[in-house]
Structure 1
Amino acid sequence: MTTSSRELQENESHHPDILLSKHGDDSGIGSTENAKDEYVYIGDGYNLIRRIIFIMTVCSSMFTNQLGLCNSLTTLEIIGESFSVTDPGKLSWTISGYGLTLGTFVLIGGRLGDEFGNKAIFIIGMGWLALTSMMAGASVYSSYPVYILARVLQGLGPALTVPNALAIMGKCFSEGPRNMGFAWFAASAPVGAMAGLLFGPLFAMAWWPWIYWSQALGVAFLFAIAIVAIPNMPVEGEQNKRRTLRETLDRLDLPGGASGVIALVLFNFAWNQSLVTTWHEPYVYVCLILSLLFLAAFFYIELRLARYPVLPVAVLTSDIAFVFGCTAAGWSTFGIWLFYVIRISLNIGGQTPIQLAAWLSPILITGIGTALIVGKIINKVPASFIMLFAMLCYFITSLLMALRPVHSTYWTYFFFATIIATFAMDSSLPAATIIFSNAVPRQYQGMGSSVIMTIVVYSISLGLGFAGTIELQINNGGKTAADLLHGYRGTLWFSVGLTAFGTILALTFLLKDHRRRKLANNEKEEEQTDSTDA
């Protein structure tokens, strides 16, 4: 199958190295006409079985990402009890620590894949996740800080696999199969979440370390499969040239990457550590101040010094600001909703972890269905409209959960909120990626998915930090069930406010996008009228 001119132009704007020669020629991409005749997407030529194995292997990165997040959600108290830890602030690090590392290093993981090969970094990420999962289980013989360290290190695995999985998918498939590949990638998220919510408490019933040891065994299997199932993708053009050490360091943008990572880590650490020590400890707000200084240094380096910026802030536009705002509001709300609804159910409502897994099981069907539908319509419906739909779903879910009586029937608030939440998650991610892609110049298209994933996973962790601060300020020490519930509800009403803000942003962006489309159509009609008159 040869590529069309449209596909080739898209390829050049998104991934300058994604085409493979029929004849094995890797001398570089020539003119449009020659490329049209000589190059194909390697994945398009796979038979059905080979394609299924390949897509499942690549999508396993999102599956294991969500599995690692959700397999600890309903077992926090069980794990904490084995270490004699009951402080909610300390327990929250089980989730926020994982998200902190993941959100901080996703963009770096994508850049490493661009420079050293997406397949290589994907495989390294899987191997790292297997080792750190084994470490998390083995921490039962040590201490709680070692367990939290293992959870923090675990997040680096998906930070390497997720952005490179997206890049691999884009480099191996043409537009049609690629869109459906991305849809299956999104659909693997609820499958992974459901697996974590189900098998986490099941293994905890035997002995909680098996939550992580079983994960380590599964990821080790995926590590071996990935070596065979993912094709070697030769690099083209400038990447094929031998570079000096100085050139490699310039392209990695180490000063920019380091300052950005330090800023993100310190900022998130300050908010989440404040749940343990409160803001009265000087080092907490010192970390917050230092994070702002490093953030300023990051922007200066990216704007003034970096030859190959890890994040080209100079191209950020108002459209991208809308995307970032909506994505951050929606996904931070998702983290708050998932964490605190589970806390209410376990600590106030009396539900068991297994019962909660059953309550959340509809995400498996609606999540997959939504992702596949969005994959079909994403090129037919404006992404701004899909983003508004997603933000409305986030808002409705947050409102239902904030209003839900603790002992209400499952089939009322909880069931409908769960269904609507999956609509929000699996429509906001592809919409954000499309809007970002349309808003930046051609040479920055490849980083779009990495940037959006950075916003998604970092927002989840940071949102928990904000919510935890609110909880501790209003729960009167959490000594009674009523005080606990008051603190939990405060975080859920905070999520309502966040999603209301995100909905206003999405509506504003939709109106702006509609006006822009209308002006473009008017100009086109005027040009057609002028050409007819001539």
Structure 2
Amino acid sequence: MDVIQKFMIDDEDWGPEDLELHYPATPPALRSKRSEAELALTSPAPTPSQRPPISLLHEVTFVITILLAQILLQAGVGQGLAPLHIIGDHFNITNPGELSWYVAGFTLTAGTFILIAGRCGDMYGHKRVFVSAFIWYGVWSILCGASYYSNNIFFTIARGFQGMGPAFITPNGLALLGRTYPPGMRKNLVFSLFGACAPGGYILGATFSTLIAERTLWAWAYWVMGIVCFLTAVCAIWTVPSQAAGSGAEEKQFHEEQHFDYLGALAGVSGLVLFNVAWNQGPTVGWPTPYVYFLLILGILSLVVFFFIESRVPQPLLPVQALSAPVLFVLSATGAGWGSFGIYLYYLWQFLIQLRHHTPLLVSAQNSPSAVTGVIASVVTGFLISKVPTPYIMILALICFCVTPILTATMPIDQTYWASTFVSTLIIPFGMDMSFPAATIILSGSVPKEHQGIAASLVLTTTSYSISLGLGIAGTVASQIDPNGTDLLRQFRSAWYTSIGLAVMGLVIAIISALYMRRHPLAAPPH
């Protein structure tokens, strides 16, 4: 996830040097009712230095606090994936479907609850939600570690609740950054740093969790995470500037005018969770199990009710009228690409650990090139955004998503690391770092002005949710190809073929989307 603020569209004008989405300097009481968290408010007027009205030391500590939000989010993914088999062996779990929940449970809630996180920030204040979410993240990290003395079910549930923390941290952290910085290069730099931290955070979480798991109790990885989250929450209380937190009568009036769509939130969150749980539980207990179909049907019905509610309420979480053809095209392509990525990454770890018999710590080191190329991809994407039409950048991203699983699906067990594995770790960050800002720009240019803020929220939800759903789809395919679970290589390759299929589907949708926007110029984002 990359340079989010840099690649959004200004409400007033568009220019390669100022690809941002922000409010004009109007009083909060006169602003649109759309989510402030999604729009990343810019409160102060621009200054020649483009610096917020705080000291340099205060600015540095504030930025570090917000960057920790991104680092710890990705570390949460890494700490579930890297010591997967160490934790599974502790609970006597070997079923791939059950093991995948250690990652899928976290990304499911991290993606689903973004749907309501922005509106909560509008109602209760972004700083308050940001700090509270870190405390929540810390509490459930501690409980994840405490499950060492319990069982697999408790650990899986705790991972799901742990993922709710980042769901509320990320959009509100972005809102705090947006409110602190006026439009300009300084703001773009900060948001670029936010995006560039993603691969490094994942590698950091994977490395330290495996290091701890191999040397002592794996539970300490989660306890350390909890302590870091608590410390970050305390730091945020002191480092978030007052103008970012919001104050004054107008700000208070704005928060009071926000109304939470409780029925829509219940239906939307329930539908997404039930639909995803059905797909991830199917490979574990078998699709013929009655409750799996019941969850799937109930999830679909809940989503239908959600869209009905959203078309009726005055302040919807998801404005139905914003879901135009270009929006649906781009969300589908993005979801397919990130679902493909989740499958590629999960089964690459399983392949390297179970078939090449590498230690989790060595596999973490083998994945570390992604942290470097992630930063490079961030810079390259920033350059391309100002030179190349965004639908074409989306096509390039999907090509990267296609290439990586092709490399892994065709590599022999005894092949050297420097061939397919190494090359795939170099390529995959470009798929991630190109698709996210490109999708955000296209959505921002395709929805009406009154719904501009929904762009980043939809893309954030789609990326995290698709990783979890993709693992369920791949697990279903693998369980059907090898029902006895005896041929690991066949399972992994069938999962990667599924990853290829999703990426190709996303590529086709991206091409159709580009052709559609070429035929309908008004639907395309300005370039």
TM-score normalised by structure 2 residue count: 0.88
Matched, 1:241 2:253: yes
1:480-491 equivalences in 2 (<5 Å): 483-491=487-495
1:512 is displaced (CA, Å) by 3.4
1:518 is displaced (CA, Å) by 11
Other-structure match for 2:188: 179
1:49 is displaced (CA, Å) by 4.0
Q: Which of 235, 240, 258 lines up with 1:230 in the alignment?
A: 240
Matched, 1:372 2:382: no
Distance 2:452 2:522 in 1: 25
Letter in 2 for 1:324: L
Q: Which of 461, 478, 490 lines up with 1:454 in the alignment?
A: 461
Any idea what the Cα deviations from partners look like across 1:352-380, whole Å, max 9, x if unmatched? 11111111111111101211332354344
Other-structure match for 1:196: 205
Letter in 1 for 2:233: F
Q: Which of 78, 84, 89 lines up with 2:92 in the alignment?
A: 84
Distance 2:410 2:57 in 1: 48
**RMSD (Å), alpha carbons:** 2.7
1:7 is displaced (CA, Å) by 6.9
Would the alpha carbon gap of residues 50 and 377 (structure 1) be closer, same or farther in structure 2, given more than 3 Å must change?
farther
1:243 is displaced (CA, Å) by 7.7
1:345 is displaced (CA, Å) by 1.0
Would the alpha carbon gap of residues 237 and 380 (structure 1) be closer, same or farther in structure 2, given more than 3 Å must change?
farther
Any idea what the Cα deviations from partners look like across 1:381-419, whole Å, max 9, x if unmatched? 322122111111111112111111122111111111110
Any idea what the Cα deviations from partners look like across 1:398-449, whole Å, max 9, x if unmatched? 2111111122111111111110101111111111111111111122222321
1:192 is displaced (CA, Å) by 0.6
Other-structure match for 1:500: 504
1:55 is displaced (CA, Å) by 2.2
Distance 2:29 2:276 in 1: 45
SS in 1 for 2:452: helix
1:19 is displaced (CA, Å) by 5.0
Other-structure match for 1:218: 228
Q: Which of 348, 351, 362 lines up with 2:355 in the alignment?
A: 348
Higher helix share: 1
1:107 is displaced (CA, Å) by 1.5
Q: Is the 8 A contact 2:44 2:181 kept in 1?
A: no
Letter in 1 for 2:427: I
Q: Which of 125, 129, 141 lines up with 2:133 in the alignment?
A: 125
Would the alpha carbon gap of residues 367 and 238 (structure 1) be closer, same or farther in structure 2, given more than 3 Å must change?
same
Other-structure match for 1:474: 481
Q: Is the 8 A contact 1:271 1:462 kept in 2?
A: yes
Unaligned runs of 5+ in 1: 1-5, 30-35, 521-534
Other-structure match for 2:6: none
Matched, 1:257 2:269: no
1:342 is displaced (CA, Å) by 0.7
Distance 1:467 1:397 in 2: 16
Letter in 2 for 1:328: G
Distance 1:215 1:284 in 2: 33
Distance 1:496 1:290 in 2: 29
Q: Is the 8 A contact 1:28 1:236 kept in 2?
A: no
Any idea what the Cα deviations from partners look like across 1:134-162, whole Å, max 9, x if unmatched? 11111112222111121111000000001
Any idea what the Cα deviations from partners look like across 1:477-496, whole Å, max 9, x if unmatched? 122xxx11101100100111
Q: Is the 8 A contact 1:263 1:291 kept in 2?
A: yes
SS in 2 for 1:155: helix
| Bigger relative contact order (CA 8 A; separation at least 6) | 2
Other-structure match for 2:286: 278
Letter in 2 for 1:128: W
Distance 2:92 2:522 in 1: 62
Q: Is the 8 A contact 2:124 2:255 kept in 1?
A: no
Would the alpha carbon gap of residues 476 and 132 (structure 1) be closer, same or farther in structure 2, given more than 3 Å must change?
same
Q: Is the 8 A contact 2:276 2:472 kept in 1?
A: yes
Letter in 2 for 1:60: L
Q: Which of 308, 313, 321 lines up with 1:306 in the alignment?
A: 313
Distance 2:28 2:346 in 1: 49
1:59 is displaced (CA, Å) by 2.1
Distance 1:214 1:320 in 2: 40
Distance 2:10 2:409 in 1: 46
Letter in 2 for 1:348: L
Percent of paired sites with the same residue: 37
Distance 1:258 1:94 in 2: 24
SS in 2 for 1:408: coil
Larger radius of gyration: 1
Would the alpha carbon gap of residues 219 and 519 (structure 1) be closer, same or farther in structure 2, given more than 3 Å must change?
closer
1:384-399 equivalences in 2 (<5 Å): 384-399=391-406
1:329-344 equivalences in 2 (<5 Å): 329-344=336-351
Letter in 2 for 1:453: L
Q: Is the 8 A contact 1:15 1:171 kept in 2?
A: no
1:111 is displaced (CA, Å) by 1.5
Unaligned runs of 5+ in 2: 1-8, 32-41
Would the alpha carbon gap of residues 516 and 115 (structure 1) be closer, same or farther in structure 2, given more than 3 Å must change?
same
1:323 is displaced (CA, Å) by 1.3
Would the alpha carbon gap of residues 315 and 266 (structure 1) be closer, same or farther in structure 2, given more than 3 Å must change?
same
Q: Which of 46, 54, 69 lines up with 2:62 in the alignment?
A: 54
Q: Is the 8 A contact 1:393 1:424 kept in 2?
A: yes
Letter in 1 for 2:500: V
User: Aligned pairs, how many?
Assistant: 495
Distance 1:28 1:448 in 2: 21
Any idea what the Cα deviations from partners look like across 1:435-470, whole Å, max 9, x if unmatched? 111111122222321211100100000000111111
Distance 1:405 1:45 in 2: 57
Other-structure match for 1:417: 424
Q: Is the 8 A contact 2:117 2:167 kept in 1?
A: yes
Letter in 1 for 2:496: L
